[in-house]
Amino acid sequence: MMSRDTRQLSLSGRATEAASPIDRSRESSHDLPPLRAFGLFAGIGGIEKGLGSSGHEAIGLCEIDDGAISVLEKHFPGTALFQDICKLRSIPRGVDLVTAGFPCQDLSQAGQTAGISGARSGLVGHVFRLLEKRRVPWVLIENVPFVLRLGRGRAVQVIVGELERLGYRWAYRVVDTLAFGLPQRRERVFLLASREGDPRSVLLADESGEPPSRSPTRRRALGFYWTEGVRGLGTAVGAVPTLKGGSSVGIPSPPAIMLPSGRVVTPDIRDAERLQGFEADWTLPAQSGGRRAGYRWKLVGNAVTVDVAQWIGLRLRSPAPYDSSWDAPLSQGSPWPNAAWSDGSRRYAAHVSTRPMAVAGPPIDKFLRFEKRDLSARATAGFLGRLRSSSLRRPAWFEPVLENHLARMVSRER
């Protein structure tokens, strides 16, 4: 892909407790003033923390999960908290930006029905209900890439159709956390809509191109999901695959990491928090009330990466020109691409990658700071059994390393 001549945002700088190389300090100058944000489906505040490091202010948060609320109360003291979006009557006055990261499964039913009547069958409908009453200048929506295919694209059609009906221009882009120097392969869709500005100048202006391909070797750490092994491995060279939320009852689902030494480990929850751009023990307040420690994995796995939200926040204050000469109109019924935009009358596919930035970061084995746990003999044996019965492609040395690890674990557990 050829790169555009666009103004790049400087994000390199001092590392923080979250061990991300992105500079979390505010830039010395901005073109636009900070925004006052209201977070719907706020989770543990990943979007709001990232926006806050860009100078914006969260003046209200709405979240129904008790554990997540405990985290928000700790880290956003004095911010108004609302628990149930279904009971939220209106967006408070003075809000410039509404953020929302709702579950994509919520659109399964809505995607089968046209218009707002279908959207209102789920939680996403409450976003439009609130915007109907108060049409704030900016809206930021986050979701998983599957939302682009859900219901053969009907889910996205519902979302952007409602935004257009409410008078918003919009742009969306699939963004990979790896682009921000954090060793986690995590793609998420960010959709930004506005009644005043150009969303393209925020989401689409930065472009670093596709990363160089890296082949798995014994000299590189390899992340994978030991809970898989039949239909996929979820491998990531020098990184971990997307952190998952685990079960609803607090059973964690950490990925496994095959280290260059041959040891196979799982990361500590504090390193998982850092992989999402949070400080270690950000979710510790969620263990109050007798909740299991593993419950924190659910909160971290469902969170928005702080560094990505910070980049969006910085661009909201310092928008850059976007060259749309590469872009082509979207035809009716065509699949939704990884990036697109609308000027309010026509929709276009955007010619950008999933990597707006190219922040250099350490590989996963150098990133981990806290004590790692060896993958148990039971977990290793179960994964090997599924892998051997599958036809999945894997490096020739992958199984022997696992077999040696299993032998060590069995010997240790005797």
Q: Which residue numbers are catalytic? A: 104
What whole-number distance in Å separates Cα of residue 13 and Cα of residue 17?
Answer: 13
Structural contact between residues 59 and 65, judged by C-beta atoms closer than 8 angstroms: no
What whole-number distance in Å separates Cα of residue 215 and Cα of residue 397?
Answer: 13
Q: Could you tell me which of 20, 252, 40 has the C-alpha nearest to residue 130? A: 40
Beta strand pairing call for 97-100 and 57-62:
unpaired
Q: Could you tell me which of 276, 369, 259, 272 has the C-alpha nearest to residue 20? A: 276
Residue 168 CB-density burial (10 A; 0-12 exposed, 13-18 middle, 19+ buried): buried
Structural contact between residues 171 and 199, judged by C-beta atoms closer than 8 angstroms: yes
Angle between helices 46-53 and 306-317 (to 10 degrees): 40
What whole-number distance in Å separates Cα of residue 216 and Cα of residue 238?
Answer: 8
> Tell me, what DSSP letter sits at residue 184?
B
Residues 6+ apart with CB under 8 A from 111: 118, 150, 151, 154, 155, 157, 158
What whole-number distance in Å separates Cα of residue 178 and Cα of residue 189?
Answer: 14
- The tokens describing 304, both together, are 């928005």
49, 51, 55, 58 alpha-carbon torsion, rounded to 10°: -70
Kindly list the strands in the beta sheet with 169-176, ordered across the sheet, starting from the edge strand earlier in the chain.
80-82, 57-62, 36-40, 97-100, 138-143, 187-194, 169-176, 339-342, 347-349, 328-329
Structural contact between residues 56 and 313, judged by C-beta atoms closer than 8 angstroms: yes
Number of Cβ within a 10 Å radius of residue 269 = 23
